[in-house]
Structure 1
Amino acid sequence: MRARSALAWPLAAVLLAAVSACQSRTPTPAEAPTPPDGVVTWASSAARMDEAAADRGHRLVVRTSVGGHDLRIRLSNAFGDRPVTFDGVHAGLRKEGAALVRGSNRPLTFDGARSVTVPAGESVFSDPLPGRLPDTTDLVISFDTPDATGPVTGHWLAMQTSYTGARGHTAEEGAAAWTRTMGSWFYLDAVSVRAAPGTGAVAALGDSITDGWQSTTDTNRRWPDYLARRLNRADTDIKGVANAGISSNKVLTDGGGPSALNRLDRDVLSQPGLRTVFLFEGVNDIKAAPGITADDLIDGYRTIAERAHAAGTCVVAATVAPFKGWSEWSPAAEAVRRDVNAYLRDSGEFDAVTDFDRVLRSPYDPERILPAFDGGDHLHPNDKGMQAMADAVDLKSLDCAG
């Protein structure tokens, strides 16, 4: 970790402001909570997971994009069927593994209280935590779930190692109590900060490619991570990046979590400071559902664009990447992909288009991923492919008002 990260949060105890947390009603998974002021610096899209385990401590590692002050987190019980209590919630900076930078681990409150109970189907924002959170650094959120039962709300494909242990150790900065590792995030689905005036964010709405499958675990090499690093160095007001990818996700139908249409409000439009929706989905609809036509997908894309524009955001679309060699590829599916990509390139219904198909395809067989970018299954790009995708994004296109 860079030295400035260790110094960014004060070592002395700071009185937390007793500002009421912004709680949101989400009686169905599709409804969006009301975002607080600020800009999203990290997010993951939630879905229903296995049954909860009571008396458990969680230590979740996430990677920030934009830096700022007054960190807030969002805890979600969107897919639960009973209330969940969160106790001993802390935020700190990671040193290595489950160990934190000394003096960085500080308690979060909810309407001034050290614990909060979130009803089934709802979510809650913490109070703002004074102090500065660095950009592009590992943030660690720790909390206990003393009485959790029923379905868990979480994100299973984190591509990041987090930790669990017995409850009662969330205030500790050492790693001794955090004896078990996991590759998923539970309950936490967004982190925001107050950044410089005018700072905005982009949310990448996608499937397992956006989720980072076939990138290297624990290295933050998903294509939205590479994009965040580019934005951090660039002269642009768009600095925050929210990864709204879910493995196996589809535009039109539920499966790998709610469809893009059904989760757009909660996972994307609810993010604080959102300026742009980056839409990169469709391959799962094409390859897994015979009978899905290009017109079906185009209707779905058009609906997402209309809803995002109505919410006041830009919409950038990306073409569907090649996947010949994957078991579900067929000439009929390829024909749908070509028609969909022609629409995405030429319709004029989006504020900009990024041509991921052109970036990733082989010049010798344009129905396949270039071997140098192929993660091995002929569908998911490797680290080099992920970086090539991020490098292809015109950063100016992410702010249509700019």
Structure 2
Amino acid sequence: MRAHPGRRTGRRARPGVLAVVAALVTAVCVPLTAAAAQARPPASVQTPAHTQARAQDEPATTPAGRDRHFVVTWGASADRQGAGPADRSYRLVVRTSVGGTALRVRLSNAFGEHPVTFARAHAGLQRQGAELIRGSNRQLTFGGRPSVTVPAGETVLSDPLPGRLAAQSNLVVSLYVTGAEGPTTGHGMAMQTNYAAAGDHAAEEAATNWTDPMSSWYWLDAVSVETSTTISSVATLGDSITDGWASSTDANRRWPDYLSRRLQAASGSTVKGVANEGISGNKVLADGAGEAALRRLERDVLSQPGVRTVFLLEGINDIKAHSGVTVDDLVAGYRQIIDRAHAAGRCVVGATVMPYKGWSEYDAAGETVRQGVNDWIRNGGAFDAVVDFDRITRSPYDPQAILPFFDGGDHLHPNDKGMQAMADAVDLSALRCDR
């Protein structure tokens, strides 16, 4: 289910508009004052990625005595991307889910073959296109330094940035990257217009120099905030349906986005964060479009702070690949994910595999496997809860096909209405984990 969207042109920002004070209250609004740190050389990362990420989840006691912890508010699974030029800036637009304080970003060189230096990193709020709300763009540091060198295969967490970040914010992380050689790490199908520029423009709030729109996220794979220990997040592990293919670009209409909005509006829910860990074309059992779900589970899901529930919607790419995958093969893969998540203290919600009749790879043999897999998901008792996306999205006149009203046009991927119907079908109480 991998798609190759072309470059998308963003709208040019209108210059000369002052930011409203009320908007700045929601920003990461306290400036950093460690001037001495700016003169230091780049920090170097030695700690393995999963160790750093888990350290972020440790509870911290505030001066008032209330326990707080870090919770992921946005995520995008890392994958191997093409070679990126050195001496380049990246402006990455992401939508937060849960709000909180002490913003931290996770930068990844997981698929790089050489060290990469993040010479400058800033976080601000989007006004329009590549333009930021004036006064919102703040410098991030790493071990007190303004830059950091990340070895091949590693990730790094920024220091907490003072200030509060609101839920459902358009956060913009701007990176100035030097020394990048060979493959880069990123997320190919963002369904979001991001921007690039030659040279160092990370600190700028104007859109003037950000003239190169792009449809991928690079280097950034997670954002977390500090909040009450009663608050948690759900990580949605999936393929292009979760990644958002066929939803509207720059509109945040993937089904996890709709789910996030429901969770924010639900006064009784303690699950407020959503990390979208879908990769277009991904499989449960085999590498290809990204590492298999079994291989990336630790990095993309279990290492994310505050995640208490894993939501699994994968299997269609294994089935339609005509690779001989059986019901038993997929069930064994699902069981491994469930067992590993349970061992890590997480709950797992399973979703049935959705219909795909009319897609070019559809055949009767694959449909038989899909039906068998869905029967096990519904009745096997291995998941902590089940959401029947197959029942929600299929046509009543042809249950092997997606309902035309929900069809994004290729008979496999839901459109915006289908994405919303999927999110609306989730019983929010099923996302609470009592483990």
TM-score range, shorter chain: over 0.9
Which amino acid is 2:275 matched to? A
CA offsets 1:163-205 (integer angstroms, 9 cap, x no match)? 0002221111100010110000001000000012311000000
Aligned mates of 1:157, 1:54 — CA distance in 2: 22
User: Over residues 323-381 of structure 1, what are the superposed CA-to-partner deviations in whole Å (9 max), with x where a residue is unaligned?
Assistant: 00001000110000000000000011111000000000000000000000000000000
CA distance in 2, matches of 1:34, 1:203: 15
SS of the equivalent of 1:264 reads: helix
Q: What aligned pairs does 1:3-402 form with structure 2 within 5 A after superposition?
A: 4-9=22-27, 13-15=31-33, 24-26=47-49, 33-37=53-57, 38-234=70-266, 235-401=268-434
Counterpart AA for 2:214: M
Q: 1:115 to 1:22 in 2, by over 3 A?
A: closer
Report the CA distance shift for 1:45/1:371 in structure 2 as closer, same or farther (over 3 A).
Answer: same
Q: Is the 8 A contact 1:21 1:111 kept in 2?
A: no
Aligned residues: percent identity? 61
List, as ranges, runs of 4+ consecutive aligned residues in structure 1 with deviation greater than 6 Å. 20-23
Give the secondary structure class of the aligned counterpart of 1:300.
helix
Whether the 8 Å contact between 2:44 and 2:150 is mirrored in structure 1 is no
Superimposed CA distance per residue, residues 281-338 of structure 1 (whole angstroms, 9 cap, x where no aligned partner): 0000000133110000000000000000000001000000000000100011000000
Q: Distance in 2 between matches of 1:332 and 1:3?
A: 60
Secondary structure in 1 aligned to 2:221?
Answer: strand
1:6-28 superposed Cα distances (whole Å, 9 cap, x missing partner): 3223766343699x9996415xx
Measure the CA separation in 2 of the matches of 1:23 and 1:195. 27
Secondary structure of 2:54's aligned partner:
coil
Paired residue secondary structure (1:385): helix
Query: Which amino acid is 2:323 matched to?
Result: P
Partner Cα separation in structure 1 for residue 372 and residue 134 of structure 2: 55
Distance in 1 separating the partners of 2:126 and 2:46: 28
Moved more, 115-124 or 190-199: 190-199
Q: CA 1:255–1:32 in structure 2 vs 1: closer, same or farther (change >3 Å)?
A: farther
How far does the alpha carbon of each residue in 1:59-78 deviate from its partner, in whole angstroms, 9 at most, with x for none? Answer: 00000000000000000000
Number of equivalent positions = 398
Letter paired with 2:185: T
The CA distance in 2 between the partners of 1:202 and 1:312, in whole Å, is 13
| In structure 2, C-alpha distance between the alignment counterparts of 1:155 and 1:10, rounded to whole Å | 24
Instruction: Give 5+ residue unaligned stretches, structure 1.
Output: none
